Structure 1
Amino acid sequence: MKKSNDVSDGVMTKLKIGILNIMHDKKDTKNRFTNVLTNTQTPVELRFFYPVSHYRNRPVPKDVSTMLEPLDLNKVKDLDGFIITGAPVEQLAFEEVDYWDELTVLMDFLDQQHIWQLYVCWGAMAAGYHFYGVHKHALPKKVFGIQAHKVVNNSPLLNGMGKTFFAPHARYAEMDRQAFLQAGVVEIARSEKGCLFLLEDRPQRRTFLFAHLEYGRNALKSEYEREWQAKVAQREHLAQPKNYYNLNGQPTFSWKNTQRNFFNNWLYQIKETRKLK
């Protein structure tokens, strides 16, 4: 007799997690999420997707088609959890993003199917706007680097974190905290500088992560170097990652424990919910 939907013949079945990869560095992003999600206590099976409408009038690049699947709701419906990554479009209005309509259909579908959702950085902004009408606003300067964070409300997502922990931020926009709270979303933690970090609408199975906890040690360095090459005329105004390099000028990984605990906790809550089905 099978004891639960999570165990069969003494072997734990894998959680099925989908990821819509809309970051600029799709290969690195795939590797990062694969690393953080597979190095947990919960076995997972990952499926990576790209938005079809982003390539509507042009061929899908080979490096995209070989790594990612076209988004298909028929494939999404059987998943246990879904992640929408950040994207380098926070300086555009949401409706100006060419895959916006496809993204909103996906978010509504995840809700209808009661699939656990994790929205990261711009993904969190997009979901906040779509579900609650919260607007984003441009920052005078990019929030870029490592910040210390404090707990605002208890949540299983913070198990093992401690009262203060570190996480990397990298974004050009922010959202109104009070607008989230007025919509019934619970703030779990924020940076000590007041930046949004983690909110959740637990009844709707939505988690909003405004930091890039999937980033590894060298990710901020790579991001800065990419912008340095891309924004030649704006180099003197580029923000450099703060609280990131050690005295020898090498990148640190001060958020490693935060990363491990958060993704462990997010997957664990999905696993426990699945047991109850």
Structure 2
Amino acid sequence: MPIKIPDDLPASRVLEQEGVMVMRETDAVRQDIRPLKIGLLNLMPNKINTETQLARLTGATPLQVELTLVRISNHIPRNTSADHMATFYRPWEEVRTERFDGFIITGAPVEKLAFEDVTYWDELRRVFDWTHTHVHRSFNICWAAQAAVHHFHGMGKYELPEKLFGIFRHRNLAPASPFMRGFSDDIAIPVSRWTEVRREDIPADSGLEILADSREAGLCLLHDHRHRALQMFNHLEYDTGTLADEYLRDAATPEGSRLPRNYFPGDDPKQRPVNIWRSHAHLLFGNWINEMYQTTPFEMGRIGRHS
């Protein structure tokens, strides 16, 4: 099945060129099935790229998915046009009465700030609590994952001496988990962050299960059973060139930028990187959507009302 997104969303053209089936509204209503309803709260600066990356992954399964783009209600993005936001995004205050099979919250460029100093922290805390009652399964990425384990479990984040940046090998610690089904023992995952959360801070009674970690990069993926959420601290959704774009952006600043590790062939930024994580990205999102499909109530009104 295809993914149902607004006809004029820039991601539509990109995904169609890649062979991903994109469903129009008129076609969707003719199918006598209930699509999986997934919301995307996009906090990333380059919203169009992030929309495309996550629509690609959620639209690659055999199930029909309806993607709703959501924004923080009172926050005005600086890097995306007001027309784009007004046309394709709905404020969370508008969708909070609705229920979703799945809800994704992305990272944000606010890692070095204390959580409480982020301008939209109070609303994001309400969003986290709302996912526990109005969402069947959540998927939080990078800073949003750090924020979620801080909000729900009181875990802190720690600033690193330098940016953790590149492709790092990770261990599959829970091959029996439905979310890790089909994963290799050794997984290459893009990492791009200034902070980390630590294993020793996981509360003993939290129900948090470590699914993947790295000896170099630390915690990567947690399953929060109690809140029906995956907490992904890294970026399997990244395109082949995303780290290169970040490197060039940072290199133009006074602070400069170190080369991303294990990324450019021969550490030569003129060489095109080789994508060795794409298959695992599709596998993780496919497993998440399959688990959601297998367990979500058919009646939307029952979502969030059962354990």
TM-score when scaled to structure 1? 0.88
Q: 1:11 to 1:242 in 2, by over 3 A?
A: farther
Measured in 2, the distance between the counterparts of 1:93 and 1:203 equals 25
1:39 and 2:47 correspond: no
Matched ranges for 1:154-169 at <5 A: 154-169=176-191
Q: State whether residues 169 and 211 of structure 1, in contact with CA within 8 Å, keep that contact through their aligned partners in structure 2.
A: yes
Q: Which residue of 2 aligns with 1:103?
A: 124
Measured in 1, the distance between the counterparts of 2:240 and 2:97 equals 31
Q: CA deviation at 1:41?
A: 2.7
Measured in 1, the distance between the counterparts of 2:203 and 2:259 equals 31
Q: Which residue of 2 aligns with 1:205?
A: 228
Q: State whether residues 170 and 189 of structure 2, in contact with CA within 8 Å, keep that contact through their aligned partners in structure 1.
A: yes
Q: CA deviation at 1:48?
A: 0.9
Q: Which residue of 1 aligns with 2:260?
A: 241
Q: CA deviation at 1:63?
A: 3.3
Q: CA deviation at 1:131?
A: 0.3
Match of 1:26 among 44, 47, 65: 47
Q: CA deviation at 1:244?
A: 1.2
Q: 1:17 to 1:188 in 2, by over 3 A?
A: same
Query: Which amino acid in 2 is paired with 1:245?
Result: F
Q: Which residue of 1 aligns with 2:136?
A: 115
Q: Which residue of 1 aligns with 2:38?
A: 17
Q: 1:10 to 1:234 in 2, by over 3 A?
A: closer
Q: State whether residues 107 and 141 of structure 2, in contact with CA within 8 Å, keep that contact through their aligned partners in structure 1.
A: yes
Bigger relative contact order (CA 8 A; separation at least 6): 1
Q: CA deviation at 1:11?
A: 5.2
Q: CA deviation at 1:66?
A: 2.9
Q: Which residue of 1 aligns with 2:9?
A: none
Gaps of at least 5 residues in structure 2 are: 1-29, 300-307
Query: Which amino acid in 2 is paired with 1:130?
Result: H
TM-score when scaled to structure 2? 0.80
Q: Which residue of 1 aligns with 2:251?
A: 228
SS at match of 1:92: coil
SS at match of 2:273: coil
Q: How many pairs are equivalent?
A: 263
Matched ranges for 1:67-146 at <5 A: 67-72=88-93, 74-75=95-96, 77-146=98-167
SS at match of 2:187: strand
Measured in 2, the distance between the counterparts of 1:11 and 1:208 equals 33
Aligned-residue Cα RMSD (Å) equals: 2.2
Query: Which amino acid in 1 is paired with 2:211?
Result: I
Q: State whether residues 145 and 232 of structure 2, in contact with CA within 8 Å, keep that contact through their aligned partners in structure 1.
A: yes
Measured in 2, the distance between the counterparts of 1:64 and 1:228 equals 29
Q: What percent identity do the matched residue pairs reach?
A: 33
